[in-house]
Amino acid sequence: MGNKLKSFAFAICWGLFGLSMARAALDTWPALAGNFPRWPLALLSALAFAAAGLRLQFQAPNLKPQNCIPLLIPAITLLNPVSNPLRDWALLFGAMGGIAAIALTTKQPNHPTTRFLYPLSLGLIASILYLCTLAPTVGEADTFEFQVNAIRLGVSHGSGYPLYLLLAKLFSLLPAGGTAAFRVNLSSAFFGVTAALMAYALARALGAPRPASWVGGLSLAASIGLWSRAVEAEVYTLHVTLIGVLLWLAISDQQSAISNQRYWLAFVFGLSMTNHLTTILLAPAVAVALLPALPAPRLTPHALRRNPTLHALLYPLLFALGLSLYLYLPLRWPAVNNGEIMTWEMFRHFITGQEAQGALRLDAWLTDFSRYAIVGRKALDQFGWPGAITALLGLAALFRKRPSAAFVTLAAYGAFAFFGLSFYVPDPDYSSFLLPAHLVQVVWIALGIHTVVEATALFTTKALGHEFTRNLILDCSLFIVHCSFFFLPASLIWINLAKVDQSSDWREYRLGQTILSQPLDEGAAILADSELIAPLYYLQVAEGLRPDLDIIVLAAEEYYRAELDARASAGQTVYLGRYLPRLAEAYYLHSVGPLTKAKLEPSPLPDHVIPPGTNFVGAIRLLGFTLDSSTAPTDSQLPITLYWQAVEPPPENYLVILRLVDSVGAPTLISPPEVPVGQMYPTAAWPTNDVVADFHNFTLDLALAPGGYFLQVGLFPPFSNDGLKNESGGMWITLADVTLTEPTTEPQIQNPVRMRFGEAWLMGYDAPDTAAPGSQVTATLYWMSAKDTTAQWCAEQNCRPVTVRGGNHITVSRVVFDAPNEGGEMSLRVGVAGENGECGWWPAPPAPSCELARLSVEGAALAPNAINFDNKIVLDTIRIETAQASPGETVIVSAQWRGLAPMDENYTVFVHLLGPDGVVHGQVDSWPVQGTRPTTQWPINQPIADRFEVRVPDDAPRGEYKVEVGWYLLATLDRLPVVTASGVAVDDKFVIEGLRVGDR
C-alpha cells in the first residue's frame, strides 16, 4: 500500500475516533461547549486525533492501517441522532481495548501474557460492571434471606443451599467496608465474573478462538439474566459457574486419556448439588459425554488399574463426598432453631426440594403450549435475534466438527429449557432457572462467530487472487467481522446497566431504620409480610438493633390472625407490618410509623400533637397531627401522622387524601386515596371512645418546584369528589407550611437528547413510542437551564407552555395530552420562547422548535366503556372458562390486557371468586402471565394474554359466584382505580358473573 494511502487511512481512523470522542464528551458534559456550537469543537478534536494518528504512523512505519479498524467502532454513533453517553463511552473504550489487543497479539502472539489477555480483560470488565451496580445493603425476598443466613450461618428455604451460604460467609468477613449485606452481595458478583470466565473456557475447549470466546463470555456477563443476579446475594451466579465447570470437565474428558477429570467431575457434581438441586438436570448431558468413552482404556493410577472394583467405587464415593456438605444442615439446625434437632423427614424435605415440587408440572410441555412462548421470549430477552441466529450457526458448526460435543451441549440446553417449560414460579426466579441454558447459548454464539469468520476467510481467499490484495482485504474483513460482533455485548451493557443498577438503592434499609427507631414497646412482636421482614430482621441480626423484638413472617393470612390473637391475649404488644382484614371487629388499631399497633383498649391523644387551625363538621374530627419534618427534597417523602376521632358513628367509609397547594392555592400534588391506618381501619368501624393515629408517607414528585407549599388533608367517600365539609364549608384542612428543596439524586432519563435553546439544554425525555388511539399520554422533559424560562410543547398543532426552572442541576417538567382518536403518527416538538434551537448532533440551520419524537398511534382505540385501570392497563376481554365447578376443583379464567403507558412499578393482578355470601372463596394474586410478564416490561398497546387457575376451597358454599379482577401495588396495597373516559374513578375492580359452584 502506498504511503499516501496508508497515511490517509491512519488519518481517517484516528480522526473519526477523535470526532466520536468529542461527541461523547460534549453529550456527557454539554456545558463544555459554552456558548459555542458543538461542531467546530468536535472538528478540532478530529483534527487533533488525526494528527496524532499520522505522527504514530511516522514513528512506527511497520504498523498496518487495518490494525486501526477498531477505532471505527464508535464512529457508528456519529450516524445516530439519538444521544446516549453510556453507549458512546462503551464503544470508545471497546475501540481502545481492540487496539491494545491487536498491538499485543501482533507483537508477541505466543507470549504467555497474550494468552491471558482475553480472560483477564473479560474478568476485569465484568468486575467493573458488577461493582458499579452492586446493591449496597439488604435486599428483598430470597436475597435478604441469603444475606442474613450467610451472616449467622443459618439454613435457607428450599434445599438449604449450604455451599453458597458457607462461601458467602467468607465474603462477609472480608475487610471491604460497607454493610455486611454489601459484602455478602460481593459473593454473587465474584461468581458472576467466574461464570463469564467459564463461558470463555468452555468455548475455547470446543474450538472457538480467543476473540470469539471473549465476546461470548462478555455477552453472558452483560445479559440481563446474569447481571441482575450478580448484583445481589443469590445462588444463581455460583450455580452457572458450577454448571460451566461440569460441562468443561465433561467435554474435556472426551479428549483426554486421563481419568482424573472424571474423578473431579464426580466430586464437583455432588458439590454443585449442595448449591442448587437443578444441577441434576445436567445428568443427561454428562451421560452423553461419558458413556461413549467408558469402554476406552484410561490412564489411571497403578493401584486402581490392579483393582477395577475400587476404581468403579471411587466415582460414587467422590460424588458422595461433594454431597456430604449437606451435613451442614442438621449440624447447624439446632443452633439457629432454639436447640431443635433436625429429623430425617425434615432433612429429606430439604435435600429433595419438596418445597418447590408443587410448582413442577412435568406434563406442561404437552398440556400448556403457552409455556413455549414464555421460554422463547426469555431466550430472546437475553441476546435478541442476532444472538439467537449466531447461536444456531454455532450449534450447526459444532455438529459438523464435533457431533458428540454438540449432543452434550444440546442435552444441557434442552434439559434446562424443559425445566423452564415445567416449573411454574414467577420472575425473577423463573428467569434465573434458565441461566444455565443461556450459558450454553453464549458458547454456541462464540462458535457461530468463529463460523462466520471462517466463512469470511474462505470466501476472501477464493475470490481474490493477488496475494497482497488478498491478505489486506482478508485482514480488514476479519477485523470488521470481529468488531461487528463486539456490538452484541456492548449494546447489552448500555441497554441493561440502568435496568440492573442497584448501587443507590437504600430504600429498604432506611425503611427498616425508620421503623426500628419508632417508640416500640419493649419485648413486642412485629408480624411482618414477606417484604417488610427483610430490613427489620436484617438490622436485628446484622446490626443488633432492637434484639428484644420478635420479628415474625408467616405463610398465610389465617396464621397471622391466629398469631395475633394468641400473643395479644397473652398480654404481648403486637405490631402489624402487613394487611389483615376485619381486625376492627376485635381490636383498636393505631399507626406507629409505618406499622399498625393492634390494641385491646382505646388510646388517648398524645401530648405532642399539633392541633389544626380548623376542623371537619359531622361525624369525624381531626384532633391534630405530627409532621416529622416540614422540609424535604422533592425526590423523597413527607411522613405525617394524623390523629382522628369519631364523635358519632361515621355513616360511611371515608378515604384520606393529602395534597400540596402553592402560594396561590392551586393544587400541585395529590396523594392516592387511602383507607386509614395502613388500609386496615375503615372509618365506619371507628368507635367513639378512641383516638385513631393514622400514618401516611406522602410521596413527592421531582416535577415540583422547590419552595413553599401548604399541606392539606381531606376525607372523601370512595370514587367521589364530594368530601366531608370543614367549618368554612370547604373540603380541605390546611395542616402546615412545608418547604421543598432540590432533589438529592439525578433522575433516570429514559431517552437522552442534547438540544440547546440559548442557555437552556433539553437533556432528555420520557415518553412512549406508541399509544392507543384516544389514550392519555404523559411526557416528562428533563432540562438544564441557567435561568427560569418558558418552553413550548407541541403535540402536532396542540401547543402549550411549559415552565422550565433554572439551576445547576437537571429539573423536570411534565406534560399530559391525549392521543388522537385515529391511528397514525404524531409529531412531538419542543422549543423555547425567543430562542432558536440547536436540535441535534449534526449541524443544521437553527430552528424555532425541535422534533423530540414521533408517537405512533396504533392498535384498537379505547371503547367508551373500556375497563381502564388508571390509564395504565386496559382489560380487553375476560372469560370464565370453567362455568361449573365443585369445591376442591379449579376454575380457569382467561383475560387479555393491554398496557396504555410505560409503568415504573410491577403491579399485581388479583382474581377473586366471590361466593353467594359476598365473601372471597378462592383467589390468585400474581404478576401477569404466571409471574413471567412484569408490567414494567410490557410493550405499549400490545395484547397480553393471561390465564389464571383459581382453586375453589373444599368448604366453599354452593351457589352462584362472581369473579372480580383488578390490580394493586404490593408495596402499598393501593389498587389501580377503574376510570371513565373522562378520567373519573368509579371503582377499583371489575366484576363478571357466570360461575356456579356445586356438586356435579
pLDDT at 153: 93
Q: Encode 276-296: b = buried (16+ Cβ within 10 Å), e = exposed.
A: bbbbebbebbbebbbeebeee
What does the alpha-carbon distance between residue 685 and residue 754 come to, in Å, rounded to a whole number?
A: 56
CB 409 within 8 A of CB 213: no
Give the start-end residues of each E strand in 495-653: 525-528, 550-552, 574-577, 588-592, 595-599, 620-627, 631-633, 637-646
Q: In sequence order, which residues have a C-beta less than 8 Å from that of residue 462 and are 6 or more positions away? A: none
- Among 580, 595, 629, give the residue marking a domain's end: 580
- The grid cell for 670 is 395529590
Please report the DSSP string for 144-193 in residue order.
HHHHHHHHHT---STT--HHHHHHHHHHHTSS--S-HHHHHHHHHHHHHH
The answer to whether position 194 is within a domain reads yes
What does the alpha-carbon distance between residue 156 and residue 817 come to, in Å, rounded to a whole number?
A: 50
pLDDT at 83: 86
What CA–CA distances, in Å, run from 910 to 49, 880, 914, 972, 979? 60, 14, 12, 15, 18
- Among 693, 713, 740, give the residue marking a domain's end: 740
DSSP-based three-state secondary structure for 841 = coil
Considering the domain architecture, whether residues 102 and 118 belong to the same structural domain is answered as no
The answer to whether position 507 is within a domain reads no
Considering the domain architecture, whether residues 140 and 271 belong to the same structural domain is answered as yes
Considering the domain architecture, whether residues 657 and 755 belong to the same structural domain is answered as no
Residues in the chain: 1000
- Among 839, 857, 875, give the residue marking a domain's end: 857
pLDDT at 258: 54
The answer to whether position 722 is within a domain reads yes
CA 630 from centre of chain: 33
Q: In sequence order, which residues have a C-beta less than 8 Å from that of residue 434 and are 6 or more positions away? A: 225, 375, 378, 379, 416, 417, 420
Considering the domain architecture, whether residues 842 and 937 belong to the same structural domain is answered as no
What does the alpha-carbon distance between residue 269 and residue 242 come to, in Å, rounded to a whole number?
A: 8
Q: In sequence order, which residues have a C-beta less than 8 Å from that of residue 466 and are 6 or more positions away? A: none
Considering the domain architecture, whether residues 960 and 837 belong to the same structural domain is answered as no
Domain count, the chain: 6
pLDDT at 179: 93
- Secondary structure string (H, E, C) spanning 103-120: HHHHHCCCCHHHHHHHHH
- Cα dihedral: 834, 840, 845, 851 (round 10): -60
Closest CA to 432 of 243, 187, 245, 171: 243
What does the alpha-carbon distance between residue 978 and residue 265 come to, in Å, rounded to a whole number?
A: 58
Low-confidence ranges of the chain (pLDDT < 70): 1-3, 106-113, 254-259, 292-311, 460-479, 1000
DSSP-based three-state secondary structure for 1000 = coil
CB 512 within 8 A of CB 539: yes
Q: Which helix (H) or strand (E) holds 334?
A: helix 328-336
The answer to whether position 565 is within a domain reads yes
pLDDT at 225: 94
Closest CA to 778 of 593, 905, 903: 903
Q: What sign does the dihedral 212-213-217-218 (CA atoms) show?
A: negative
pLDDT at 291: 76
Q: What sign does the dihedral 683-687-688-694 (CA atoms) show?
A: negative
CATH of the domain at 974: 2.60.40.770
Closest CA to 589 of 488, 662, 676: 676
CA angle 625, 629, 634 (to 5 degrees): 115
Considering the domain architecture, whether residues 242 and 291 belong to the same structural domain is answered as yes
Q: Which helix (H) or strand (E) holds 813?
A: strand 811-818
Residue type at position 746: E
The answer to whether position 643 is within a domain reads yes
The answer to whether position 603 is within a domain reads no
Q: Which residue range forms the structural domain that includes residue 269? A: 112-295+312-350+367-422+431-495
Considering the domain architecture, whether residues 713 and 844 belong to the same structural domain is answered as no
DSSP state letter for 326: G
**Model-wide pTM > 0.85:** yes
Q: What sign does the dihedral 170-172-173-176 (CA atoms) show?
A: positive
- Secondary structure string (H, E, C) spanning 666-700: CEEEECCCECHHHHCCCHHHCCCCCEEEEEEEEEC
- Secondary structure string (H, E, C) spanning 357-412: HHHECCCHHHHCCHHHHHHHHHHHHHHHHHHHHHHHHHHHHHHHHCHHHHHHHHHH
Considering the domain architecture, whether residues 164 and 119 belong to the same structural domain is answered as yes
Would strands 733-741 and 631-633 be described as parallel, antiparallel, or unpaired? parallel
Q: Bridge partners of 241? A: none
- The grid cell for 233 is 446475594
Considering the domain architecture, whether residues 103 and 116 belong to the same structural domain is answered as no
CB 910 within 8 A of CB 815: no
The answer to whether position 362 is within a domain reads no
Please report the DSSP string for 900-922 in residue order.
-S--SS-PEEEEEEE-TTSSEEE
Considering the domain architecture, whether residues 217 and 343 belong to the same structural domain is answered as yes
CB 730 within 8 A of CB 715: no
CB 744 within 8 A of CB 809: no
What does the alpha-carbon distance between residue 916 and residue 556 come to, in Å, rounded to a whole number?
A: 24
Could you tell me how many helices (H) and strands (E) the chain has, helices first?
Answer: 27, 35
Phi, psi of 623 (to 5 degrees): -80, -25
Residue type at position 274: T
pLDDT at 30: 83
Considering the domain architecture, whether residues 576 and 453 belong to the same structural domain is answered as no
Considering the domain architecture, whether residues 39 and 117 belong to the same structural domain is answered as no
pLDDT at 310: 66
What does the alpha-carbon distance between residue 535 and residue 508 come to, in Å, rounded to a whole number?
A: 6
Closest CA to 834 of 903, 897, 759: 759
pLDDT at 255: 65
The answer to whether position 390 is within a domain reads yes
Q: Bridge partners of 945? A: 896
CB 701 within 8 A of CB 669: yes
